[in-house]
Structures are given as C-alpha cells and as structure tokens.
Structure 1
Amino acid sequence: MSACNAQNTREVTTEIGYIPKQKAEVSDEDYRKWTFLLRSIYEQISKDSGYLKYGDHLNIATAFIKLKEPRQKVVDQWYLAQQEDLESTAELFPLIYQSSRSVVGYLSDSEYDSLIGKFAEVVENKHEIRLNPSEYALENNLDTVLVALMAHLNEKDQEFRMSDMGKQQLIDEENIQIIDSLYSLHKKYIGNSLVGGEYQHVMWAVIQHSDLGHQEKYLPVVHEGVINGELPKTPLKMLIDRVYMKKYGYQIFGSQSGGDLADDATIEKVKKEYGL
C-alpha cells in the first residue's frame, strides 16, 4: 500500500494555525522562511472560507519537510492533497519533488517510485480525455479562436520544460511574442472573462516563463487581472517573487525554491502595495 494511502483507518485533518517549534538541525533562515509560508497559508484561508486546496496541502507538506517534522505529518498532507484533487496533485507532485532525494526520510526509494508511477497513470488518463477547446468555448459562450489559441499556448508552455530547457526557451520566446500581440489587441489580462477558468492561467504562465523585461511589463497587468477577478491571487504572488528574485536576490512570499525572504519591512510594504 502506498505511504500516501495508508490513512484509511483514521481521520486525517490539518491543524490550522500549527507552527512547529524550531529543531536544532533547522537554520534560523529556513525556520523563518518556512514558518512564514505556513502563516501565509493559514492567514489566506482565514480570509476565505477556511478551505484548504490541494496546493495548500502540498505547500504545508513541503514546509513540514524543511522544518524536519515527523513523517506522519508530511504523509498526511500528501494524502489530503490527493483527496482534494488527485489529477492536479498528480501533475504537481513530480515537479515539487523531482527525485527521491528530495523526500529522504519521508518516502523510501520504492515508495517514491510507486507513487510517481501512480501519478503518471492518473495524468495519462486525464490526457486521454483532454478537454476540447472548441466545445469548451461554445458551451461557455467564449471566442472559439481565442480559446483555441490559449489552449495551444498552454501545451507549448510545457512541451519540453521537463526534458529539454534549450528547446523550451526558444518556445518561451515565441509564446511571449504571441502574448504581446494579444495584449495589444485586448488591452487587458486575458483571463476568466475571455477564456474561462480552464485557461485563465495561461497568459500568466507564459509571462512567468519569460524574461525580466516582460515580467516587469506585465506585472501591473496581472495585478489588475487579479483585482478584476480574471485569475486568483497565487499566480500574482509567484510573479512578484520571480521579479524580486531576479532584481534583488530575495522574494516576498516564498514561492521560489532556494531563494531567501526579504526583510519583514519590505515584505509588509510589497504586500500592502499589491493588496495581498
């Protein structure tokens, strides 16, 4: 039985507000960074409905790993992520934990391989019933040409990202040129109102994978899109972190792996600036 599916004999829940005590093997910077992430998650769900999404569970699990929490606490969060959204968890888990080395002490090599194999089957099955962009556009009274183009960009954005970054970089450069043209035409973030919830993230993803110049150009556009309900807040936080990492060497929300957090005053200033 998979380590992430062994909780069927007891109720698994998340203790909202739980912040681990600092372990001796956890550095002060790591403790600050990962407890900051936990507090941010707890704060966000208290503002919303108190409802944890699959991504929240995965982020909590990652924080628990970095904070050297017991194995069961981490495995519980992976289990809850799967219960909340198995398909999305199956796609995101291998990106977060790219080898068994990243989960040493929490999954054995065989458990990791078994779970990755299971997730690969889930993703493959999802692709077999891939959404038809034209049908989706017609069902939701959206522009079929624009939806089809965003669906195409969505696929191109991931075509070689896990296998050949040299090829992917060339595609990223082509993709952002298309976004430039679309923005010149529509003069706003191309999100929920134009292409629906299924493709609201695509413009952001292309921007996120572009150069710093384009990221800075479109940061206000993405911000306005969030204000107008065109996409959720999390992508905006990730774009802010990407820009700040490139420009200043630190981040605000802790979404970028390997980067230190800014000082508390800078964090509060940026959060206030963007209403986050």
Structure 2
Amino acid sequence: MSYKSLLVHLDTSQAALPRLEFAFRLARQLNAHLTALLTLVRPESGSFYVMAGAAEFLAEHDRVSTERRNALERWFKAETARTTVSADWRVATDHATDVVRNAARLADLVVAGQFDPDDPGSFIANQFLEHLVLDAGRPVLIVPYAGDFSTIGLHPVVAWDGSREAARAVADATPLFIHAKQTTIVTIGAQGGEPPGSRLPGADIAAVIARHATAAAVTVEETQAEPARAVGDALLTRAAELGGDLIVMGCYGHARWRELVLGGASRVILKSMTMPVLMSH
C-alpha cells in the first residue's frame, strides 16, 4: 500500500506557500502525483453593501487575493520544472466545501491547512476543515499554520482507543509507518461509563504496525482515562515530549441540525495542533 495521488488544498493565507512546499516534499518522498487545488473565496458584497468603504474593501481583497494566487502559481510551476514531481494546478471559484470534498475522494491522501483566526485568507467556509475530514472518505493530513515541518512520519505518534475511527486512521497511515524510524502508540483508557478492559490493547495494534514498519521500533505508552478535552491536550504535550513529527488519530463527529459537532479531543487538536496531524473518520 502506498499513496500515489496527493491533493493539497490551497487558500490565499500566509500559510498557503509553506503548505505547498510541505506537499511537494511529501510527494517527492512518496513518489506520488500531486494535485494543487486553490479555492478562491470572495466576500458576498450584498451582505455589507451599505457599509462605508465596502467597495474599497472588496477592491483591496481582490488585489491581495490575485497577488497571492499568482505567487503560488509561479512557485508551483518553478518547483514542478525544477524537480521530478508529477503535478497539476487547479483553481476553483465554486463552493469550496463541495469542490474540495469531491476532489479529495479521487486522492489517496489530502493535505489541508489549519484555520488561522488571525489571517482572513485562511477562512474558506464555516467548519470547512471539519466537513472535509468527516465527508471526504480519505485521510486528511492537516498542517499547522505556524511552524517549520522539515520531516514527516519519521516518528508518528498514534492515538489509540480501539475505536473504528482509530483503526481507520492506523490503516490510512500505513504508507507513512513504512518510512518511520520510531512509532509510538499512545493508548487512551476507557472513559466514564465504559467497562474496564473494553478497549483493544495497544500492544495488539503495535504488532500490526510493526509488520509494516519492519525497520522501526514500535513502542506503547498507556494513559489514564480522562475527559476528552484533557486527552487532546495530553496527546499534544506527549507527542512534543517524544519528539514526534506526526500525530495519527481518528476523528469523531456527527451532524446536529446544520452544524457538525466534533469530539472534544478532535476539537482540541484542530485548534491547538503544533505538528501535522493525520485524521481519519
């Protein structure tokens, strides 16, 4: 099993170029084809046309968006010419949630960016990333908006609770385990209301991973049962202490009326991640 088709989603945020660079490195590492999909989002002028300076705001938005689009495309073409990476460039102006979801279903792995509340260019749509992770049917590798990530998958840290989502994430991350030098399984104990011992042991999934990662050491660490939010914080802290460069985890969520509701640990990771995270649903 390997990733041979990668999709990287781009926006007009400051983090878009580092994300594109990250995706190119990953494509070279995996000898995979890379599709770069830039979605352009323009504010609805009708929603604030009565505001003073609305026309100037839209003009400035369009100017910045065009500049960043051109800069991304120039870098993409230069890198494609410089390297042996097979790649194609796409731009979409339709509803980004639908466009990216549909493109993701044709890829083996999707690279997307964490939302940056201080950068308007990173806003795509309400709960865009949540919809992508839950609806794509493909693993989504989320890159934080801050940080320099020169390696990926040399030391994955796997959040394991024996659930369907966690099992899906482990299976989806298998091509990265093959290249790992060290893999750590962090087990999450039974939560309130679950009988002790109801979750699959970490040693069992470690043995499964070790059959793929024959050159890597696979170790298991156990954690005590904690509230979901505390589990998310503890996982981020422990992954950093271990020197991990990737977190692998299942994403829990469901639709409630017109809103997606994620599990507490998933919400914490999406908001506070300090390293790339591969999520599967």
TM over 0.5: no
Which protein, 1 or 2, shows the higher relative CO under an 8 Å CA cutoff with sep ≥ 6? 2
| TM-score w.r.t. length of structure 1 | 0.29
Q: Which structure has the highest strand share of the two?
A: 2
| TM-score w.r.t. length of structure 2 | 0.28
Q: Which structure has the highest helix share of the two?
A: 1
